Chain A
Amino acid sequence: MTRRLPKKDVVIVGLGWTGSIMALELAKAGLDVVAIERGPWRDTATDFNITTAPDELRYAIRQEMFLRPKQETLTMRNRLDQTALPIRKFGSFLPPNGVGGGGMHWNGQTWRFLPDDFRIRTHLTERYGEAFLPENNFIQDWPMSYDELEPYYDRFEKTLGISGQAGNLKGQIQPGGNPFEGVRSDHYPTPPMQQGYSQSLFTKAATDMGLHPFPRPSANLSQAYTNPYGVRMAPCTYCGFCEWFGCANYSKSSPQTCVLPALMRHSNFEARTDSEVTKVNLSRDGKRATGVTFVDSEQVEWEQPADLVLICAFAFFNVRLMLMSGIGKPYDPNTAEGVVGRNYAYQVGAGAVGHFGPGYNFNPFAGAGSLGAALDDFNSDNFDHGPHGFVGGASLTNAYTNGRPISYHPVPPGTPGWGAQWKRAVHETYNSTTNVGAQGSVMAYRDAYLDLDPTYKDPLGRPLMRMTFDYHPNEQKMAKFMMERSGEIIRRMGAKQVSTNALRVPYTVVPYQTTHNTGGAVIGNDPTTSALNRYGQSWDVPNVFVTGASSFPQNAGYNPTGTVGALCYWTLDAIKNQFLKSDAPLVQL
């Protein structure tokens, strides 16, 4: 027996970055807003106490803040002719759970995609010809340009207080910044972080090689900052407990440190935690959402009616909720028709580890999730791909996110995996090892997609989502190229011994790789190839908007959060300035 709650103006599914920003802005606009979050409430004061937050065993090894497979998991296969099996322990990626979402336990690397990334198909076709694109690709242009999105990148960076060095300010190339970046309307809100010794070697080596290194834009703030919501943050202490941890110092931008203190002052906002939305309810003709159904921690089912439904969960779960609610046509790889689940993408990781030997003290424990120097010379289409036979690219970075005791003990190749020799090697090399890593794009393909699994079900009896994904030859070539470039740089930095990290093929769900899962409910200008119009509004159910990386048509060589945030503010403006007035589709065909 479903109990029915009083109607709200807006119901938000998931209280992470986009859900909290949407909630705050719409509550400020005077609407009655409820956010329904599957996981628990978490705030810095209560949950990330400085005396207990830096607990590697609890948070990084036992993964306290992540989704448990028991709550929800996925099945995975590489190819269409395989039977997908359920992930019983998350490995390759770690979906978030709880208020703050991934924005709470992320590293804080906050990038803008490059102008070419937004018109990627047009650009690549113009430069190399259609035939140069990989087989079976679903590469598609974004429905807006970088310039259109720029003000929203700026807003998101100001909400977070991002620390960085502008590279292209109003068309003027800035020394020390990224010369490849799109035109910025303003500086970063705070100056870049203090870089370490290793980054100084990287910067010098890369500059000597004719490359263009710069400090990576960071949500670990270089100095105290008050954002436009009046929320105050403290400078980062370089403690090295960012990724997989909540920040105890109010230094890492998160919904907790940037949005929730302002949001929770609004009496017209309500958060329902430990409550999982199971369905977006539609009118009889399927053309209008009437609200959502959710199940609370006592397994009691509730209906929350609302005029506007915002799906703001993690990428996978946005797609699954749409599939289970019948919003949009499910994608079918056999006919290449349908849109929900289409264009799932991921990222490639490759790189080189350099062992420098005695005399080098890199102090990796003085790290931060987004501390580091990077270069974009091999990202996107910043270099001529003609001779290399692949498209896409990667940002190359020298960084220490951490030097934590349980997980970080790099040893030179040939060292035994345990015992006295291993211990000696850890002792000798802990402080004299550094790396150059590449984080690369993944294009969209006809056979990389998400759908509902025909076999496996969750505890509520609903089908799990199935992922069908592997790295295509294009991405494998690109990863190899980036591994070679990383090795060249680290040798130039002075490494005595270099070991390389190659892309693991076929793709496997262990070990950890990245939680930059994208696509499945993409934005576009063509309803036959996108689930959402350019404003993130469902083509089929116009009072449903969807945020998050699920809307990326394909993935770029950067962390997604900057673009997720920019798209959130872009959608928000469309809702506030257009939808609330018209209550209609914002794109007419």
Chain B
Amino acid sequence: MRRLGLAALLLLGTATLARADLDSYVAVEQGRYLAVAGDCAACHASPKGPFAGGRAIETPFGNINAANLTPDRDTGLGRWSAEDFWHALHDGHSVTDGHLYPAFPYNYYTRVTRTDSDALFAFLRSVEPVRNPVDRNTLPWPFSMRVSMLGWNALEFTPGVFQPDPQRSTEFNRGAYLVEGLGHCGACHTPMNAIGGPKQAQYLQGNSIQNWIAPNLTNDAQAGLGTWSVDDIVQYLQTGRNLHAAAAGPMGEVVEISTSKMTVPDLRAIATYLKERGAAGPAVPAPLPATDAHMDAGAALYTDNCSACHARDGKGVADLFPALAGAPSVRQDDPTTTIRVIITGAQVAATAGAPTSPAMPSFGWHLSDAQIADVVTYLRNTWGNAAPAVAATQVSSVRSAVAVPGK
């Protein structure tokens, strides 16, 4: 802390002041919180520092290295003004690199207010400068031409600060501001089109990304949050678990470094927004009959391999082993996450509110593709769940994408 204070003091003489007072303690602390809410560290953290950049971000078009956000003059944002930062956030244009790629989700960040942008910048000015040169041009041609983003922007990007809906509550609007803006939830949870833009008509209706399914976040009762209360969502975001689910994988990381550190009023606002904005999801199929041969085999596999933790009735152990009965992650149309977790295992986020970080072990080494298909089919079609049956070939393709060689 002492070091940070010193860094801030040194900046006094050199900082180019724009709108916000960069040395205001209030602005810095506000910015610190906004950096958490925006989950900036998820991409920009590296072994050299929480904002030192350099981490390769996978995109369908190639890897992009996250920028160094520390105030280092040569390799970071040291020469940037608050205005420059605003342009990056609001317009997707960097004074250093030119047009940014939407791996930096400026199509969401454009909703952020200028005040919050300035506060974020004030905070980033206060962290210790880290010299960490980052190669910012790693995409292959034609994406290597940053000017090509002009075309993308024309098709996919409408700059504009969030406008509250006067018909809605303050809480709803706060939630909308966070989800649609800094939280950039749609970057994972909204399906993408061929050029990596969000399919706006299916906003937050779930998406397949890096062999995970980012589930439907609408109020849909089958695949979405329809069976969750506002409190359930708050508990999930705050602790990483609730009666219905446990956060692991990429969402576990989001919970650990972002949502578990947000205020409860903000989490309630997010939950209110998600619950109140409506429901959309696939039609619910009729569940497979228990007499189906695959269901029968799946039931036996479930009893032997799964029931010790998830319980015979599929209800799990509250706040420790997630329920599978009624679990949206199990009922997604696309079974990739369920298959993947069985093959590789997964570990639940550890948070201050729930420090135990229980792990689902890997079963990939001792269950065959056909067995995994049967058990997934079973748990998607029992205890009131209903979702399409899974074939061994689906398991096989997930396995080839996620399995660690030798395991």
- The B-contacting residues of A in range 27-72, CB under 8 angstroms, are 44-46, 49-52
Question: With A51-B361, A249-B308 given, is the CB distance from A261 to B320 under 8 Å?
Answer: no
Question: With A45-B347, A224-B318, A235-B317 given, is the CB distance from A261 to B362 under 8 Å?
Answer: no
A231's partner among B308, B356, B362, B366 (CB-CB below 8 A) is B356
Please report the C-alpha to C-alpha distance between residue A51 and residue B361 in the assembled complex, in whole angstroms: 7
B355:A51 contact, CB within 8 angstroms:
no
A44's partner among B308, B359, B362 (CB-CB below 8 A) is B359
Say yes or no: is B369 at the interface (Cβ < 8 Å to chain A). Answer: no
B356's partner among A52, A248, A249, A261 (CB-CB below 8 A) is A261
**CB 8 Å contact bits of A208-240 with B (1 = contact, 0 = none):** 000000000000000010100111111101010
**CB 8 Å contact bits of A336-368 with B (1 = contact, 0 = none):** 000000000000000000000000000000000
Please report the C-alpha to C-alpha distance between residue A51 and residue B344 in the assembled complex, in whole angstroms: 12
B358's partner among A45, A229, A237 (CB-CB below 8 A) is A45
A237:B320 contact, CB within 8 angstroms:
no
Question: With A51-B363, A249-B309, A265-B352 given, is the CB distance from A232 to B320 under 8 Å?
Answer: yes
**CB 8 Å contact bits of B118-160 with A (1 = contact, 0 = none):** 0000000000000000000000000000000000000000000
A232:B309 contact, CB within 8 angstroms:
no
B356:A232 contact, CB within 8 angstroms:
yes
Say yes or no: is A250 at the interface (Cβ < 8 Å to chain B). Answer: yes
Please report the C-alpha to C-alpha distance between residue A235 and residue B318 in the assembled complex, in whole angstroms: 11
A234:B354 contact, CB within 8 angstroms:
no
Question: With A232-B356, A250-B358 given, is the CB distance from A50 to B320 under 8 Å?
Answer: no
A234:B359 contact, CB within 8 angstroms:
no
Say yes or no: is A321 at the interface (Cβ < 8 Å to chain B). Answer: no
A234:B321 contact, CB within 8 angstroms:
yes
Interface size bracket, A side: 20 to 34
Q: How far is the CB of A267 from chain B (nearest CB, A)?
A: 12
Please report the C-alpha to C-alpha distance between residue A51 and residue B350 in the assembled complex, in whole angstroms: 22
Please report the C-alpha to C-alpha distance between residue A237 and residue B321 in the assembled complex, in whole angstroms: 14
- CB neighbours of B318 from chain A (8 A): 224
Q: How far is the CB of B243 from chain A (nearest CB, A)?
A: 12
A50's partner among B350, B354, B361, B365 (CB-CB below 8 A) is B361
Please report the C-alpha to C-alpha distance between residue A234 and residue B321 in the assembled complex, in whole angstroms: 8
A224:B359 contact, CB within 8 angstroms:
no
**CB 8 Å contact bits of A246-284 with B (1 = contact, 0 = none):** 001110000001000110110000000000000000000
Say yes or no: is B319 at the interface (Cβ < 8 Å to chain A). Answer: yes
Say yes or no: is B263 at the interface (Cβ < 8 Å to chain A). Answer: no
B365 nearest CB neighbor, chain A only: A51
Say yes or no: is B357 at the interface (Cβ < 8 Å to chain A). Answer: yes
Please report the C-alpha to C-alpha distance between residue A248 and residue B352 in the assembled complex, in whole angstroms: 22
A50:B308 contact, CB within 8 angstroms:
yes
B354's partner among A46, A230, A257 (CB-CB below 8 A) is A230
Question: With A50-B361, A51-B366 given, is the CB distance from A229 to B355 under 8 Å?
Answer: yes
Say yes or no: is B353 at the interface (Cβ < 8 Å to chain A). Answer: yes
Q: How far is the CB of A50 from chain B (nearest CB, A)?
A: 5
Please report the C-alpha to C-alpha distance between residue A50 and residue B355 in the assembled complex, in whole angstroms: 20
- CB neighbours of B355 from chain A (8 A): 229-231, 261-262, 264-265
- The B-contacting residues of A in range 51-101, CB under 8 angstroms, are 51-52
Please report the C-alpha to C-alpha distance between residue A226 and residue B319 in the assembled complex, in whole angstroms: 9
Please report the C-alpha to C-alpha distance between residue A262 and residue B361 in the assembled complex, in whole angstroms: 22
Please report the C-alpha to C-alpha distance between residue A249 and residue B317 in the assembled complex, in whole angstroms: 11
**CB 8 Å contact bits of B313-335 with A (1 = contact, 0 = none):** 00001111100000000000000
Please report the C-alpha to C-alpha distance between residue A291 and residue B363 in the assembled complex, in whole angstroms: 46
Q: How far is the CB of B3 from chain A (nearest CB, A)?
A: 15
A45:B362 contact, CB within 8 angstroms:
no
Q: How far is the CB of A263 from chain B (nearest CB, A)?
A: 9
- The A-contacting residues of B in range 9-51, CB under 8 angstroms, are none
- CB neighbours of A235 from chain B (8 A): 317
Please report the C-alpha to C-alpha distance between residue A262 and residue B355 in the assembled complex, in whole angstroms: 6
B351 nearest CB neighbor, chain A only: A265
- CB neighbours of A224 from chain B (8 A): 317-320
Please report the C-alpha to C-alpha distance between residue A44 and residue B350 in the assembled complex, in whole angstroms: 13
B362:A234 contact, CB within 8 angstroms:
no
A265 nearest CB neighbor, chain B only: B355
- The B-contacting residues of A in range 118-166, CB under 8 angstroms, are none
Q: How far is the CB of A565 from chain B (nearest CB, A)?
A: 20
- CB neighbours of B366 from chain A (8 A): 51
Residues of B within 8 A of A (CB): 305, 308-309, 317-321, 345, 347, 350, 352-359, 361-363, 365-366
The 3 lowest CB-CB distance pairs between A and B, nearest first, are A45-B359, A261-B355, A49-B361
Residues of A within 8 A of B (CB): 44-46, 49-52, 224, 226, 229-235, 237, 239, 248-250, 257, 261-262, 264-265
Q: List 26 A-B contacts (CB under 8 A).
A: A44-B358, A44-B359, A45-B357, A45-B358, A49-B345, A49-B362, A51-B362, A52-B361, A224-B317, A224-B319, A229-B355, A230-B354, A231-B355, A232-B319, A232-B320, A234-B309, A234-B317, A234-B320, A234-B321, A237-B308, A239-B308, A249-B309, A250-B320, A257-B356, A261-B350, A265-B350
